[in-house]
């Protein structure tokens, strides 16, 4: 039997279909962003301004060479941002504590300098209040346990200043937790590391497992009675980089209630790019695009579930980003790509911010109590 040959599309038909698909994707994206603010888990603008602008908050409206400025945040539809109050882990002891305090001060000064654009946020309710006022909710995340100088008292004071998460390690091990990019020293968490996780839980601060080893991640999940996050990581099944999260850890997020916030760092997204980046860098860099990010997002949805994914770009935290995601104005392009892959608005909303808002709400009461000494908050067990 002769199979009928489909008639060729009329001239321009493919362009019309592509345009229609783009319009449909935009509609789905807009539906998602009416449900929730877009919340990013990690941005290093404070560190970039510390390095290149002497921590100034002047002239940040637009036209900067950085990945972030106010105009681009608005174009990217960012509704809430966890600003990383980070200093590198070659800062030690009291120097690390002071540096982190200076980073916290930068975020507070940013919000004071641009009150129409930013509002300090400590809770899910604060995020919603900022959104209603047309401001970008500004949350704080401390990146690396080195910033504590191994002092639980420092951790508690960070909480009172509004720091909402602690990344347990950065590039190197701490005295109580193994990093994913250092030689294993503790087999994950020490007993003191477990105590730190429990103190974070008591304070309502989120345990951030980006940068840690798989053994540390499993130990923290064993110890935590609250949802954890990965503020800026991707999927090891797609790119075998030590900063990425193995499927065995991803599967545990459902029981824990936690969230993997997918990042946009090229060497975490592509093994070819990572080999080039870590090598002699001869020839052009392998091309990485927002479709690679979308592939990691979809893998995380399949393994961890749609209720356990989010976004954590790491803008101003590395030199290069995927084509189409070169700055904070790129989020609509990523959401549009996922919508073209038939993601419904509800799933896009979960990714964009609903999941992280849930995690905040689940830990808000403890965090609020930690900020008020006279509130009847429980007495800490971890003192020194």
Q: Which residues are catalytic?
A: 42, 44, 143, 170, 211, 232, 314
Straight-line distance from the first to the last Cα atom of the chain, in angstroms, rounded to the nearest whole number: 83
| 186, 126 contact by CB (below 8 A) | no
- Whether residue 367 contacts residue 203, with contact meaning beta carbons closer than 8 Å, is answered with yes
User: Cα–Cα distance between 344 and 325 in angstroms, integer?
Assistant: 22
Say if CB 194 and CB 187 are below 8 A apart.
no
Buried b (16+ CB within 10 A) or exposed e, 179-201: bbbbeebbebbbeebbbbbbbbb
Structure tokens at 377: 């908050």
The CA distances from residue 164 to 108, 142, 363, in Å, are 14, 8, 10
Q: Which residues contact 325 (CB under 8 A, 6 or more apart)?
A: 264, 289, 290, 293, 313, 333, 334
Cα 172 from Cα 88, distance rounded (Å): 10
């Amino acid at each position: 039997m002769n199979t009928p040959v489909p008639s060729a599309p009329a001239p321009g038909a493919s362009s019309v279909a592509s345009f229609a698909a783009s319009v449909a994707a935009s509609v789905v994206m807009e539906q998602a962003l009416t449900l929730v603010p877009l919340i990013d888990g990690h941005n290093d603008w404070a560190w970039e301004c510390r390095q290149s602008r002497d921590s100034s908050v002047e002239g940040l409206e637009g036209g900067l060479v950085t990945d972030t400025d106010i105009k681009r945040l608005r174009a990217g539809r960012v509704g809430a941002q966890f600003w990383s109050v980070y200093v590198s882990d070659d800062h030690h002891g009291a120097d690390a504590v002071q540096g982190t305090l200076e980073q916290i001060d930068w975020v507070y000064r940013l919000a004071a300098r641009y009150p129409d654009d930013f509002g300090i946020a400590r809770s899910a309710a604060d995020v919603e209040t900022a959104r209603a006022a047309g401001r970008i909710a500004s949350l704080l995340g401390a990146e690396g346990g080195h910033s504590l100088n191994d002092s639980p008292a420092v951790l508690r004071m960070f909480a009172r200043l509004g720091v909402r998460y602690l990344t347990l390690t950065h590039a190197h091990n701490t005295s109580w937790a193994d990093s994913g990019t250092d030689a294993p020293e503790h087999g994950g968490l020490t007993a003191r590391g477990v105590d730190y996780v429990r103190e974070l839980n008591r304070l309502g601060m989120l345990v951030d497992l980006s940068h840690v080893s798989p053994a540390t991640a499993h130990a923290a999940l064993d110890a935590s009675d609250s949802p954890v996050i990965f503020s800026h990581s991707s999927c090891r099944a797609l790119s075998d980089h030590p900063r990425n999260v193995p499927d065995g850890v991803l599967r545990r997020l459902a029981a824990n209630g936690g969230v993997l916030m997918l990042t946009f760092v090229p060497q975490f997204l592509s093994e070819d790019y990572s080999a080039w980046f870590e090598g002699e860098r001869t020839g052009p860099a392998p091309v990485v695009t927002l479709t690679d990010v979308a592939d990691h997002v979809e893998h995380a949805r399949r393994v961890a579930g749609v209720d356990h994914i989010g976004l954590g770009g790491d803008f101003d935290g590395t030199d290069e980003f995927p084509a189409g995601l070169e700055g904070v104005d790129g989020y609509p392009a990523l959401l549009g790509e996922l919508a073209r892959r038939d993601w419904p608005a509800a799933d896009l909303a979960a990714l964009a911010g609903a999941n992280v808002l849930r995690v905040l709400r689940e830990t808000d009461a403890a965090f609020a109590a930690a900020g008020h000494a006279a509130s009847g908050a429980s007495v800490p067990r971890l003192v020194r």
